[in-house]
Structure 1
């Protein structure tokens, strides 16, 4: 198959000199457009008179719930008791790393030594550590399109080359071994996400196993983004940490654990990258926030509350899967996990940014245009997020139906 091999479409070249000073080419990374949608929705909401219907927020991938109660209480208790919140080890508190290792044993039946686990400044902090440790400038790293934009943007900023594999409903918006076999030359790496953002689809365990084995056999470093693990609705979750000795796994406390602003995540590293990543982390971040690590450790004792959150997302998902087709959005990806619905709106528009602007202004619903996730084909797609209040998700199909039918 033919795959794009240049910088992400839409990248803007920054002149080398502005005001007499050189600007690094890493500054040419394009914006993460959902942040612009959030700003527009905030402004629209602020202008609504009291008593009028509010904005339904379906653009942001942030749980509507806060940190679990036990996690917040643990942080407050540590601060109240005068616990010193200095630097931790670069890889994080040993007690937190041990709890993460225990989750792999309990959730997946996988033996992951805590020595291979690094606590990071969110998943966002894990990706540059992984990319710098595993790849060199100029290396090509493959990923399915549509994709989470910072994958490509971070790679580009680091001088690496995103290699986009156009995927569609026929592969459930996931890469396949056949796609990888068609690449010549082989890429240096492959990023997979299951459940994925934006489509919400998952790789079945056997599919992930096949991809992991292919990557290991062909010297392609697999990076498995598993930050939506815990948020699946019937499809079994599998971790690449149990399938390949060379894979890098990235996860986070932001999604299932509902701790976005605490900025704490983790990565499971293959043995050959443990010390290289530790050296990078020491220099780039020192450590993840100490108080956030205390809260994250306590979050493992809050599973009942977190499972209640997941049940809410599932009900919202079911409401939208039933209601969106009746409203005119009848071409949607299989929503296996996460909290997203990826909708093909090509029968309604070929300009998803304008469509989303009008949806916000005229229907009071904020959603993210597909060009944020697939610059080439995203003009005919958009992403709905359903992690907001359940009542808002229940209301959305009726609003959309009234808007489209005039």
Structure 2
């Protein structure tokens, strides 16, 4: 947020900023989604829906699992949520009690630990490494559990901020290890669909006892619509329903209508994905030539996590200089990883190809000037 505020100040003075700090698609929601919402808004009263979501949307999400992953998911296990953020709140409340310890990968998405803390739980950061493609391993999970019992583990693939993915074998092994230890497993799959290195696998195909959290925000470019979903173990659905009834009554109706129609706009979304792939190539080839050769595998999502330790041991200060002197807005790694994040920057590549070429040129000039 500090980077965004400073970028706005520069732009207010007619400065040019290449925005790579925000994980928000620049593309619009699918036309099918926008048209469906507009029709519904004009046709009559927009009221509450069932707490679990509009039945036809839940059925369409279930069909999506057959189409994309070839796995059957009963619509009764699907809960529509206010984005993935609402999903995390409902899932954590349904799964855990205050004081419970929940393992999460470091680096990782900051709200995981912030929401857990707000609910009285204890996030347990597990440092990931290149040898495991920056993913938690069964051995690490068992070690953390032996130190003090864990009640849950949360993983994301593709991940934010790293853009790395777990292989299908690694995900399956971690699910099996968690079940063997009696640890609840949560899979954040919000960036599914944006996979480049190899196809993403849903944890829902590995076990009926996992909790999957997804959203229309990233692949479907619907961040501001605030609509997502969960796939829950059958025993947790009623708890999630009662929580949603009390916390928000239901997810915004127009957003649910738009979300159902968004599945019919897959052609548009695939075109957007191809744009991200082109941007990924521009950065992957251009940044080493510009003088920034060290970054994690760019497997999926739309993030590149770059090691800037050869230039600075303070990524926040480095990001400020990069913005002020080169006009490139990037996110320092300190929020994603309290221990090693001072060595990293996250670069979001969900903008235009022209922006990516310009960013490479500007970063190269900045690094050459020292």
Structure 1 position 36, deviation (Å): 2.3
Structure 1 position 168, deviation (Å): 2.3
TM-superposition CA deviations, 1:217-256 (whole Å, max 9, x none): 2110011000000001131211111112221000000000
Structure 1 position 157, deviation (Å): 0.6
Q: Which of 165, 171, 180 is residue 141 of structure 2 equivalent to? A: 180
State the Cα RMSD in Å: 0.9
Structure 1 position 260, deviation (Å): 0.2
Structure 2 residues without counterparts, runs of 5 or longer: none
Aligned to 2:246: 283
Structure 1 position 170, deviation (Å): 2.3
Distance 1:333 1:234 in 2: 13
Q: Which of 116, 129, 132 is residue 155 of structure 1 equivalent to? A: 116
TM-superposition CA deviations, 1:120-150 (whole Å, max 9, x none): 0000000011001101101100011001000
Q: Which of 305, 321, 334 is residue 371 of structure 1 equivalent to? A: 334
Segment of structure 1 superposing worse, 368-377 or 181-190: 181-190
Give 1:106-185 correspondences, 5 Å limit.
Answer: 106-183=67-144, 184=146, 185=148
Distance 2:296 2:163 in 1: 7
Q: Which of 272, 281, 285 is residue 322 of structure 1 equivalent to? A: 285
Distance 1:176 1:47 in 2: 48
Structure ranking higher in helix proportion: 2
Segment of structure 1 superposing worse, 396-405 or 195-204: 396-405
Aligned residues: 367
Aligned to 1:76: 38
Distance 1:207 1:186 in 2: 22
Aligned to 1:298: 261
Segment of structure 1 superposing worse, 220-229 or 174-183: 174-183
Distance 1:269 1:384 in 2: 33
Matched, 1:198 2:166: no
Distance 1:146 1:202 in 2: 13
Q: Which of 33, 58, 61 is residue 23 of structure 2 equivalent to? A: 61
Distance 2:311 2:131 in 1: 21
Structure 1 position 75, deviation (Å): 0.7
Segment of structure 1 superposing worse, 383-392 or 36-45: 36-45
Q: Residue 103 of structure 2: SS of its match in structure 1?
A: strand
Aligned to 2:187: 224
Q: Residue 159 of structure 1: SS of its match in structure 2?
A: coil
TM-score by length of 2: 0.98
Aligned to 1:10: none
Q: Residue 217 of structure 1: SS of its match in structure 2?
A: helix
Structure 1 residues without counterparts, runs of 5 or longer: 1-34
Matched, 1:91 2:52: yes
TM-superposition CA deviations, 1:294-349 (whole Å, max 9, x none): 10000000010000000000000000000011112111000110000001111110
Give 1:18-57 correspondences, 5 Å limit.
Answer: 35-48=1-14, 54-57=16-19
TM-score by length of 1: 0.89
Structure 1 position 186, deviation (Å): 3.3
Q: Residue 214 of structure 1: SS of its match in structure 2?
A: helix
Q: Residue 97 of structure 2: SS of its match in structure 1?
A: coil
Asked if the contact 1:216–1:244 (Cα under 8 Å) also holds between the matched residues in 2, the reply is no
TM-superposition CA deviations, 1:156-187 (whole Å, max 9, x none): 01110000001122222211111112121331
